[in-house]
Amino acid sequence: MTEQIIRMEVMRYRPEQDEAPWLQSFDVPYSDDMSVLQGLNYIKDELDESLSFRWSCRMAICGSCGMMVDGVPKLACKTFLRDYPGTVRVEALHHFPIERDLVVVLDDFMEKLERIQPYIIPRQEQALSEGEYLQTPTQLERYAQFSSCINCLLCYAACPQYGLDSSFLGPGAIALLHRYNMDSRDGASEQRMELVAAEEGVFHCTAVGYCSEVCPKHVDPANAVNLNKTRAAGDYFLRFAKPKGRCQ
Partner 1 sequence: MNRPLKRSNAPIFWGLFGAGGMLAALLGPMLIFITGIAVPLGLLLPRSAMNYAAMLAFARHPLGKGFIFIVIALFLWHAAHRLFHSLHDIGIHGGTLAKLLTYGLAAAGTVIAAGALLATGF
Rounded CA separation 145/175 (Å): 9
Helix (H) or strand (E) holding 10, with range, is strand 4-12
Decide: helix, strand or coil at residue 5.
strand
Name the pairing type of β-strands 72-75 and 22-30. unpaired
- Judged by beta carbon distances under 5 to 8 A according to partner kind, the member of ligand FES, partner 1, none in contact with residue 22 is none
φ and ψ at residue 162, rounded to 5 degrees: -65, -35
Interaction of residue 195 with partner 1, rule CB under 8 A: yes
Does 39 help bind ligand FES (rule: CB under 6 A)? Answer: no
Residues that bind partner 1 (rule: CB under 8 A) add up to a total of 22
User: Does 82 participate in binding ligand FES (rule CB under 6 A)?
Assistant: no
Residue 233 Cα to chain centre, angstroms: 25
Q: How far is the CB of 55 from ligand FES (least distance, A)?
A: 4
Site for partner 1 in 102-161 (CB under 8 A): 108, 111-112, 115, 160
- 14 close to 24: Cβ distance less than 8 angstroms: no
* Residue 164 engages partner 1 in binding (rule: CB under 8 A): yes
3-state DSSP assignment of residue 122: strand
Number of residues engaging ligand FES in binding (CB under 6 A): 12
**Shortest Cβ 197–partner 1 spacing (Å):** 5
Binding to partner 1 by residue 94, rule CB under 8 A? no
- 60 interacts with ligand FES by CB under 6 A: yes
Helix axes of 189-196 and 171-181: crossing angle, nearest 10 degrees:
160
State the binding partner of 62 from partner 1, ligand FES, none, CB within 5 to 8 A by kind: ligand FES
156 sits near ligand FES (criterion: CB under 6 A) = no
Distance CA 88, CA 241 (A): 57
How far apart CA 155 and CA 111 sit, in angstroms, is 17
- Residue 41: Cβ within 10 Å count: 18
Q: Determine the interface stretch with ligand FES among 53-61, 87-95, 134-142, 156-164 (rule: CB under 6 A).
A: 53-61
Residue ranges in contact with ligand FES by CB under 6 A = 55-58, 60-65, 75, 77
Residue ranges in contact with partner 1 by CB under 8 A = 108, 111-112, 115, 160, 164, 167, 169, 194-195, 197-201, 203, 206, 229, 232-233, 236-237
